[in-house]
Amino acid sequence: MNEFFGKNIISVRDLDQQKLELIFDATNKIINMSQDKRGEIARGKTLGYLFFEPSSRTRLSFESAMALLGGMSVGIADATSSSIHKGETLGDTVKVISSYCDVLVLRHSLDGSSRFAAEISSKPVINAGSGTEEHPTQTIQDLFTIKKEKKKIDGLKIGIAGDLKYGRTVYSLLYGLRNYDVDIHLISPESLRIRSDSTYDIKKELSYTESSSIDEYIDDLDVLYVTRIQKER
């Protein structure tokens, strides 16, 4: 995992199959460690987080993972309780909080926010959701889960249903699936279909079908990935 030391995780597009498999292998090793050994991995390290959008599972997943690895977490879970609420810029907040930690996790409503943060942060930045763009750590977990449950990813028929227009996990998942030989079926109402302007490079490496009816595919799917309506976007 030294390949990732000191590196940002901003987009799944930066992770090829070899890098993804390296993460999966390391994850399995950590899962199989004793609690005592696992608790030494991040001992003395601090994870900082800035969540400018509501979050429960993502934020608590980072906090609990850091605790299990022996580290600690500090950060802002509610923008109204931070200096942002008093007019401080995102850039200044990132600079300050990154000085308190060893790695910084950011969730923000603006597209490009994580990449911007990575350019000015003194520590590596992990994108925990940036606007309508991506949610790379969710995709890493999703791909790991698919492989764990199905024992493979290549050769699977995968349906992705729901709000495909604004669901940032969808775009990250498609970027990740470009690394595998899979059949993709996108299922959503016409008004919530995937944005063509965001999938130009995906189409070069991944073919998929689109439909408004799940009945057309449900019996043949190996995996069905469902997203909720993104009312906040």
Q: Is 43 designated active site? A: no
Residues in the chain: 233
Q: Is 80 designated active site? A: no
Identified catalytic residue from 59, 135, 168, 178: 135
Identified catalytic residue from 59, 93, 107, 168: 107
Number of Cβ within a 10 Å radius of residue 161: 20
Q: Is 228 designated active site? A: no
User: Cα–Cα distance between 118 and 106 in angstroms, integer?
Assistant: 10
Q: Is 58 designated active site? A: yes
- Structure-block tokens of residue 228: 């909720």
Q: Is 110 exposed, middle or buried, given 0-12, 13-18 or 19+ CB atoms closer than 10 A?
A: middle
DSSP state, residue 133? T
Q: Is 195 designated active site? A: no
Residue type, 107: R
Residue (of 207, 198, 158) closest to 178 by Cα position:
207
Identified catalytic residue from 80, 86, 204, 228: 86
Identified catalytic residue from 37, 43, 46, 58: 58
What residues are labeled active site?
57-58, 86, 107, 135
